[in-house]
Amino acid sequence: MQSRVGKPGVALRGFLPSPAGGSCYEEGMEALAAALFVAFIAPAGTVLASDWTNYEAKGYGFSMLVPKGTAVREKEWGGGWGGITAFSEGVRLYGQAKLGPKATDDEIEKYAVQVIGIPAINWTQIDSGKNQRGWIRYYTFKATSGSKLVFGGYGVGPKGNYLLYLETTPADYNEYKADYNKWYESIRLE
């Protein structure tokens, strides 16, 4: 992973390839999936297949696994953005979509920084790619501010623009980092 270098407001996508030598896509997807899996699967110590259910946000064009019994609410964020929120085991999950014309990466990034509330200088781009799991193009990120760690992805899919992320603590993220991969693999854009 590369640390964000630059000034606030500089595009998050200006990072070098992974120093680990693996493909940025594979490492980014592994890291994102690990972070998201931890938030919902690992804390409960459950088996993915039996205690999770696929949640389809058909109106927003995405689906993902959520723990059985988790209350998922739809929410409008304004500016054409809407989606779902969920809370389980101390972790908040957000799935947001702005359907319609494809926005630029800078427009989605600006929205993401605004809605998450962590300045761009505190973001790290983990990966980027195209044509995977329904994404036309995507960026995987991690942002930290104090005891708040946000991990997710943003980009464009067939129906519009997306911002999917979770909010947890750095300690929780670090403890279960490898497990987030399995959860992220469940996310699909239609």
Residue 85 in any domain: the answer is yes
At 180 the pLDDT is: 63
How high is the pLDDT of residue 8? 36
Total domains in the chain come to 1
> Domain for residue 145, yes or no?
no
- Residue 112: inside a domain: yes
Domain that holds residue 36: 24-138+153-189
Instruction: Identify the pLDDT of residue 11.
Output: 40
Exposure of 188 by Cβ count < 10 A (0-12 exposed, 13-18 middle, 19+ buried)?
A: middle
3-state secondary structure 3-68: CCCCCCCCCCCCCCCCCCCCCHHHHHHHHHHHHHHHHHCHHHCCCHHHHEEEEEEHHHCEEEEEEC
**CB 140, CB 128: distance < 8 Å:** yes
41 domain residue, yes or no:
yes
Sequence-distant (≥ 6) Cβ neighbours of residue 32 within 8 angstroms: 126, 127, 140, 151, 152, 153, 180, 181, 184
Note the pTM of the prediction, 2 decimals. 0.74
What pLDDT score was predicted for residue 102?
97
Mean pLDDT of 172-185: 72
Q: For 112-168, write each residue's pLDDT tens digit.
A: 999 999 999 999 998 899 999 999 999 989 999 999 999 889 999 999 999 999 898
> What's the CA gap between 122 and 124, in Å, rounded?
7
User: Where does residue 162 rank: exposed (0-12), middle (13-18), buried (19+ CB within 10 A)?
Assistant: buried
Predicted local confidence at residue 182, as pLDDT? 67
Give 3-27 pLDDT, tens digit per residue: 322 333 334 443 323 334 444 444 4
Q: Answer yes or no: is 18 within a domain.
A: no
Task: Give the containing element (helix H, strand E) for 159.
Answer: none
Helix%, strand%, coil% for the chain, nearest 5: 30, 40, 30
Give the pLDDT score at 26: 46
Where is mean pLDDT largest: 43-47, 67-71, 74-78?
Answer: 74-78
Q: Which is more confident, 29 or 71?
A: 71
The pLDDT assigned to 187 comes to 80
**What's the confidence (pLDDT) of residue 12?**
46
Report pLDDT digits (tens) over 52-68.
Answer: 778 899 999 999 877 77
Residue 91 confidence (pLDDT)? 81
Give exposure, 128-137, as e/b (b: 16+ Cβ within 10 Å): bbeeebbbeb
